[in-house]
Amino acid sequence: MTKLHQAPIISLRPTQLTVGWREVEHKRKRLHALSAPARLKFLQAHPMPVVIGPERQLYITDHHHLARAALEAGVTGGFFMIEADLSRHDLAKFWVLMNRKQWVHPLDQHGVRHHYQAIPTRLDELLDDVYRSLAGFVRDAGGYRKTPTAFAEFIWADFFRRNIAIEQVQTDFDSAVRDAKRLARSPIAKRIPGFKRK
């Protein structure tokens, strides 16, 4: 079994620019509703994968929503597992290697790619991407399967960004989820990781 380590959640560095705030808030409420022992057990069962970077900084490569939700719920410590130790490299080489492994996603809430320096150094500085929330809720509603493909939810978010109007997502989120779920099951989505046939 992979060894679990502990660290203050606030010390974990992001490897992406955005989260879906609705999804964060949903997870925050779930964490807040748990008793302290149940919350501890839940976090142990959902460790955050990290890469050790330059100056031994810990870079979280997945579970950004859970980590941010834990912060918002007042949880100070989290559990993580080490995917790789890249601490011997300088920052420029580190990001090249992270990109090669698909452990970084420097796209903003409009789907625009940025330099790695634009990635926040703290989880509480991540921006809101409403389409990332939409992708998470569509997945949970059975619109597509969870997949190990790196940043698959962001691929779905960009698909929905091109096909569901922002006004609908912002003013009638439930109907946007219903429409996006139908879209996710349509033939035009068949090449996206996690696609489910009807």
171 domain residue, yes or no: yes
Is residue 61 situated within a structural domain? yes
Question: What pLDDT is recorded for position 197?
Answer: 78
Same domain, yes or no: 165 and 86: no
Contact in structure between 173 and 22 (CB atoms under 8 Å): yes
Q: Please name which of 134, 139, 130 lies closest in space to residue 194, comparing C-alpha atoms.
A: 139
Place of tokens 């109007």: 165
The answer to whether residues 4 and 72 touch, using CB atoms and an 8 Å cutoff, is no
Domain stops at, among 128, 145, 161? 128
> pLDDT tens digits for the chain (198 residues)?
468 999 999 999 999 999 999 999 999 999 999 999 999 999 999 999 999 999 999 999 999 999 999 999 999 999 999 999 999 999 999 999 999 999 999 999 999 999 999 999 999 999 999 999 999 999 999 999 999 888 999 999 999 999 999 999 999 999 999 999 999 999 999 999 999 976
- Residue 93: CB atoms within 10 A of its CB come to 12
Q: Three-state DSSP class for 7?
A: strand
Domain that holds residue 170: 130-189
Strands (E), the chain: 5-8, 18-19, 48-52, 58-60, 77-85, 127-128
Query: Considering the entire predicted model, what is its pTM?
Result: 0.91
